[in-house]
Amino acid sequence: MKRILIIIFLFLAFNGSAQVLQSRAVRLMGSRFDITIVAKDSALAERYIDTVIAEVDRIENLISDWRPQTQVSEINRNAGIRPVKVDREVFELTERALYLSRITDGAFDISFAAMDRIWKFDGSMKEMPAPEAIRRSVEKVGYKNIILDRENSTVFLKLPGMKIGFGALGEGYAADQCRNMMKAKGVTAGIVNGSGDMNTWGRHPNGDSWKIGVTNPVDDNELFAILPLEEKAAVTSGSYEKYVVFNGKRYAHIINPKTGYPVSGLSSVTIVGPSAEFANGLSTSIMVLGKRRGLRLLRYFPKYRGIFVSDKGKVTTTRGMKIETVDRLQ
């Protein structure tokens, strides 16, 4: 799970630009999508936005784990029973998710969907779950029990009760796909922002790079970083808002899929790079891995940069991360 901490700055004064910027907010994949298109006129931009919406809906009808007719739901219904043949698109998305699971040693796990939701962060939980309940909550979680057959394009969950879900990657994948589609259609600039998993291309009609504000995880009424983006994706995962405190210790809502316990150490991680899908996988994983292991992981992916904010408000940026403005966290 992730907390979205990103704001897009859209300036509507174009200084006589021949192009227009059109934006629309819609609900897709159970989340808010903000779609911004730059085109020669508003009517054309609106048609392109309609095309983006149709593409996101198509993707949701492939990978949703709560729509019963999707291929992912079919995989989950047949856990422990038989492999399920899926479209190559679904197979390759699952394959990439397993790659993320391997390189993070399970800090990211596509089978997290099977975890029992024993932690409550809505104010109703008055005591910690028992250690045995926490252990049982992740019994069905384990990416190593997912069997892929590339030749036959099948996915098999070995254990009855296992589930996979693309809640951590789906919006980013959709943002990537829509960006690629729009560029192929000759759309020179825009942003597709799926619940904070965003991808940008081109520039604002005034000639500037797109500007993304990252919210201060200590005080969500202020920003602490402004990131100029051009042909880049940006994703933030955070744990600062939903948490419980037991015996003086803070337990945040992001759960380690290997242990069943909430993570600690980082309150937010922002990743910038070519793909929103992969940036999401990295940001989610690093929240679990922590700062030291997260920095080590990013060294293997030089096209990606990060901003880490600790539980105590300390900010760490990776080498090459471009930030226009950073205000001290209070």
The predicted-structure confidence for 179-204, as pLDDT tens digits, reads as follows: 999 999 999 999 999 988 999 999 99
Domains annotated for the chain, with CATH where assigned, are: 6-61+183-326 (3.10.520.10), 71-157 (1.10.3980.10)
Report pTM.
0.91
In 3-state terms, what secondary structure has residue 124?
Answer: coil
Which tokens is 166 given?
A: 């693309």
Most confident of 8-12, 119-123, 269-273, 308-312: 269-273
Ligand-binding annotation for 51, yes or no, is no
More confident residue, 112 or 1: 112
Contacts of 312 (CB under 8 A, 6+ apart): none
15-19, 188-192, 214-218, 223-227, range with greatest mean pLDDT: 188-192
Predicted pLDDT of residue 2? 47
Q: What is the DSSP string of 183-203?
A: HHTT--EEEEEETTEEEEES-
Residue 319 DSSP symbol: T
Q: Who wins on pLDDT, 103 or 167?
A: 103
249 three-class SS: strand
Q: In the structure encoding, which two tokens stand for residue 45, read together?
A: 């931009």
For residue 118, what are its two tokens? 């024993």
Query: What residues pair up with 44 in beta bridges, in sequence order?
Result: none
For residues 199 and 89, give the distance between their C-alpha atoms in angstroms, rounded to a whole number. 19
8 falls in which pLDDT band (50, 70, 90)?
low
Does the annotation flag 284 for ligand binding? yes
User: What pLDDT score was predicted for residue 12?
Assistant: 46
Classify residue 244 by burial, with Cβ atoms within 10 Å: 0-12, 13-18, 19+. buried
